[in-house]
Each structure stands twice: as C-alpha cells, then as structure tokens.
Amino acid sequence: MSIFTAKREKEPVANNPLAELNEKLSDLQSRQQISQRLLTEATNELMPLLTMQRRVDQERPRLVQARQSAHYAAQEAEQALARAIGKPDESSCIEALEKAEQARSEATQALATCDTQFDRERTQARILALRETIQTQEQLHRELTRSFEKAREERKTSALVELYTAHARVFELLEYGGPAIAEMRNSEPEAYEQFFLDLSMDRWQMAELLVQQFNFDTPDYRPELRMRQLAVKERLASLASKK
C-alpha cells in the first residue's frame, strides 16, 4: 500500500492547532446538510397540503350550495306530489320527486366524500407544524452559514499565522545554524543537496501542495505533499539515529 492510497490517520488535535477548526468546519457542514434536508422535506410536504387545502376551500362551498339546492328541490318535489295526489299529473310528480331525491343523495354523498378525504383539523395542525419546522430550519441554516463562514475565515487566519510563525522559526534557525549547514557543501555534498530538495520550493511547488487532486480512491489526494512529508520524516529519523 503506497503513501498515496493508505488511509491517513488524523493527527491529535493537541498536536495540530488547525485540526480542531477542520473538525468544526466539517461538523458545521454536516449540520448544514441536515438542516437543508429537513427544510426541503418540510417544504415538499407542505406544498401539496396547501394546494389541497386551497382546492377544498374553493370546492366545498360549491358542494354545500349544490346540496342545499338539491334539498330545496326535493322539498318542492315532495310538496308538488302532495298537491298532485289523485290528479292526472301524480305520476309525473312521483318521477320528478325520485329524480330530486337522487340528486340530493348524490350532492350529499359528494360533500361527505370531500369531508372524508380532507381532514381539515389534522391538515391544519400539520400545516402549522410544517410552517414552524420551515421557519426554524431556515433560521438555523442562516446561523450555521454565518458560523461556517466565520470558522472558515478563522481557519485561514490561523493557517497563515502558523505558517508565518514556522517560517519565522526557520529564519531564526538559519541565523544561528546556517554556517554549520553551509559547511556541508564541502563535507557532505549529497546531504547538502538533499537538504535543498527536501525543504526548498518555489511558489508553484508550494501551490501544488495546497490543493487536493481529483482521485476516487483517496479523498485527500496530494501526492507532492505526501512525498515531502515522507522525505522529511525519513531525514529526521536518520538524524535521530546519529545522536
């Protein structure tokens, strides 16, 4: 298994001042995703309920009016039949009453079906709950976004401070240890050249260490950085063996 495909273990937070910020950003991003998912789910559930409620609010008054009209028509047909008993038009009045009662039954059934299919009380309660969820998640998402941006800015500043601090330490060490290293040019030419290979880099080389390269197998695939890290660790181990 190469240094590029091996699973990298996280360094302890105490040994890496940026690790805690990385974990904080990862946690905020995860919470953002959860909040967005809950917001999307609540919105997707709310929209059909609002549409259904609007449709019922428009349709039910018409059904109520239709039932009332059918009821009045049936009452009139009953009265007309009562007046026509024993008269020539009795048969036609009976037929008219049957049709009026059928129309009243159908109108009553249509209204009952509407009320059965749409539980207004439960729907209203669910709509209120979903609206509250949406409002809560929208506010939470805004807060998480602000926190994420703040933490990202803090990580950038911390990274710059740590890098500049490390370079300040490098220049301090060069001030005192530079002559000893310069002597290696004649006494240990190979080690002298290796020193520059390990620690020196131009702008483009450093930029290459900062960014991740696309790789399906390794989320954080930065081969140049891994090679530099490995080389420095090997050099430190070699120097430690000489003590």
217/72 Cα distance (integer angstroms): 77
In this prediction, residues 134-163 reach a mean pLDDT of: 93
Tokens 């930065």 locate to 222
140/160 Cα distance (integer angstroms): 30
* Long-range Cβ contacts of 101-107 (<8 Å, 24+ apart): 101/74, 101/77, 103/70, 103/73, 103/74, 104/67, 104/70, 104/71, 104/73, 104/74, 106/70, 107/63, 107/66, 107/67, 107/69, 107/70, 107/71
The band of 15, judged by pLDDT with boundaries at 50, 70 and 90, is low
Kindly give, in sequence order, each residue whose CB lies less than 8 Å from that of residue 5, ignoring residues fewer than 6 positions away: 217, 218
Q: Assess whether pLDDT exceeds 70 at residue 213.
A: yes
CA R_g for the chain: 40
Q: Can you tell me whether residue 135 is helix, strand or coil?
A: helix
The band of 4, judged by pLDDT with boundaries at 50, 70 and 90, is very low
The CATH label, of 1.10.287.2610, 1.10.760.10, 2.160.20.10, 3.40.50.300, for the domain at 13-155 is 1.10.287.2610
pLDDT in tens, 150-186: 999 999 999 999 889 988 998 898 888 889 889 988 9
pLDDT in tens, 36-72: 999 999 999 999 999 888 888 888 888 889 889 888 8
**Domains of the chain, residue spans:** 13-155
Asked if 108 contacts 67 with a C-beta cutoff of 8 angstroms, the reply is yes
pTM of this prediction?
Answer: 0.62
The band of 13, judged by pLDDT with boundaries at 50, 70 and 90, is very low
Res 136: pLDDT: 95
Which of 68, 74, 167, 59 shows the shortest CA–CA distance to 113?
59
Res 132: pLDDT: 95
Of the listed ranges 2-6, 17-21, 151-155, 176-180, the one predicted with least confidence: 2-6
Tokens 């979903």 locate to 130
